[in-house]
């Protein structure tokens, strides 16, 4: 994969574009009128590895949470604004690290101009965030229905609009809940413009199906070299969004973070409850940042042979287990009930 080199901007202390690592983003799902609950969720996202945190700001008053969040966490905060441009202005005046606006929901060029001028004064980066469900009315007069071309036309118009006003600290997104529309829009925009792109499939769905749908769409774009920040949009705890994002990046070789579990699907040869062992093990190591390939295999066929690339692994026999590393058995005769704890101890020794 050869990444497209885009313009480089910064949100807080996070570099975006210009060949910087692809950044993982998520969104708070608490109500901003509950500051402590919101901060707690932000801290949980940071612990999971989230590098940019977006917060919905539905009214001007909800902007008052911004100083509280910035005092409580050092992860950059992005304000998500729709309809009322004055919310964007107040958020920037209160020190938000970046804002996301959708010109289609503001739907007024004069108001968008006001936002840009304040962004220049406060040096606040802006994401021009377009969705098929909220394209400007003037653009939709040209197209029979929302589509990739409509999003691209709108995005290019506003990029030039912002540039003409002298503000270039921009990031762009062109999302749909349809994979084909999303990929089409990003590819067409990327061919014509080199601002950094935030990619994702919007409203992807529940955790299981939404993660699969997101992995397909985001994976296609990343394979094409497109994307500088990503969000996996799921109906559920936002920590799952971060976990899924890192799985996508790790499996494509673009970021190395956390434990990569290699586990067999099991079959009639397996004499151990691998399902529960793997599920418990995954929960116990999900906070590890060091990247390791760890194998948990159900029989001598799959382990260590088929998992020989694992940094460390365990393979279960009928009564005992063996510990192996890079295809070589390093310990035998391990009681099955002790195997998981021994594996965790080995991982700990490798990460300290």
**pLDDT tens, position by position, 316-342:** 988 899 999 988 999 999 999 999 999
- From the list 228, 306, 297, 287, the residue with the least C-alpha distance to 261 is 297
Mean pLDDT of 148-166: 97
CA dihedral 212, 296, 336, 324 (to 10 degrees): -170
Three-class DSSP category at 83: coil
Q: Read off φ and ψ for residue 141, nearest 5 degrees.
A: -65, -25
87-135 confidence digits (pLDDT tens)? 999 999 999 999 999 988 998 999 999 999 999 999 999 999 999 989 9
Q: How confident is the model at residue 66 (pLDDT cuts 50, 70, 90)?
A: very high
**Residue 10 token pair:** 């910064």
CB within 8 Å of 102: residues ≥ 6 apart: 82, 128, 129, 130, 131, 134
Q: List beta partners, residue 54.
A: 27, 78
Q: How confident is the model at residue 137 (pLDDT cuts 50, 70, 90)?
A: confident
The CA distance from 322 to 188, in Å, is 52
| pLDDT of 300 above 90 | no
Q: Is the model's pTM score more than 0.85?
A: yes
Within 149-291, strands assigned E span 170-175, 198-199, 229-230, 259-263
Q: How confident is the model at residue 221 (pLDDT cuts 50, 70, 90)?
A: very high
Edge-to-edge, what's the strand order for the sheet holding 259-263?
259-263, 292-297, 312-316, 320-325, 328-335
Average predicted confidence (pLDDT) for the chain: 94
The CA distance from 53 to 274, in Å, is 36
Helix (H) or strand (E) holding 243: helix 238-251
Looking at 107-111, 176-180, 307-311, which range is the least confident one?
307-311
Our measurement of the distance from residue 32's CA atom to the centroid of its chain's CA atoms, rounded to an integer in Å, reads 21
pLDDT at 226: 98
Mean pLDDT of 49-58: 97
Three-class DSSP category at 208: helix
pLDDT at 302: 74
Helix (H) or strand (E) holding 77: strand 77-81
| pLDDT of 312 above 90 | yes
pLDDT at 317: 87
Altogether, the residues listed in the chain come to a count of 352
12-21 confidence digits (pLDDT tens)? 999 999 999 9
pLDDT at 157: 96
pLDDT at 27: 98
């Amino acid at each position: 994969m050869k990444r497209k080199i885009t313009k480089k901007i910064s949100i807080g202390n996070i570099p975006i574009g210009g060949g910087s690592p692809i950044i993982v983003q998520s969104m708070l799902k608490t109500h901003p009128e509950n500051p402590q609950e919101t901060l707690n969720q932000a801290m949980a996202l940071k612990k999971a590895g989230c590098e940019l945190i977006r917060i919905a700001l539905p009214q001007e008053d909800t902007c008052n949470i911004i100083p509280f969040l910035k005092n409580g966490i050092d992860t950059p905060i992005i304000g998500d604004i729709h309809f009322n441009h004055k919310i964007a202005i107040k958020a920037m005046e209160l020190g938000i690290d970046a804002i996301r606006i959708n010109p289609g929901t503001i739907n007024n060029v004069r108001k968008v101009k006001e936002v840009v001028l304040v962004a220049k004064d406060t040096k606040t980066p802006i994401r021009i965030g377009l969705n098929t469900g909220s394209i400007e009315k003037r653009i939709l007069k040209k197209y029979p229905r929302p589509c990739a071309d409509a999003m691209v036309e709108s995005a290019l118009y506003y990029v030039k609009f912002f540039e003409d006003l002298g503000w270039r600290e921009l990031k762009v997104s062109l999302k749909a809940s349809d994979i084909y529309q999303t990929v089409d829009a990003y590819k067409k925009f990327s061919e014509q413009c080199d601002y950094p792109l935030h990619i994702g499939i919007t409203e992807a769905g529940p955790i299981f199906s939404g993660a699969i749908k997101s992995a397909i769409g985001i994976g296609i774009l990343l394979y094409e070299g497109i994307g500088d920040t990503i969000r996996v949009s799921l109906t559920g705890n936002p920590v799952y969004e971060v976990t899924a994002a890192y799985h996508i990046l790790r499996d494509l070789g673009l970021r190395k973070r956390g434990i990569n579990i290699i586990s067999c699907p099991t079959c009639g040869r397996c004499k151990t409850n691998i399902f529960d062992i793997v599920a418990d093990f995954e929960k116990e190591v999900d906070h590890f940042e060091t990247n390791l390939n760890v194998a948990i295999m159900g029989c001598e066929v799959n382990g260590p042979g088929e998992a020989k690339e694992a940094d460390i692994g365990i393979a279960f026999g009928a009564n005992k287990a063996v510990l192996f590393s890079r295809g070589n058995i390093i310990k035998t005769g391990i009681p099955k009930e002790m195997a998981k704890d021994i594996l965790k101890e080995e991982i700990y020794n490798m990460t300290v």
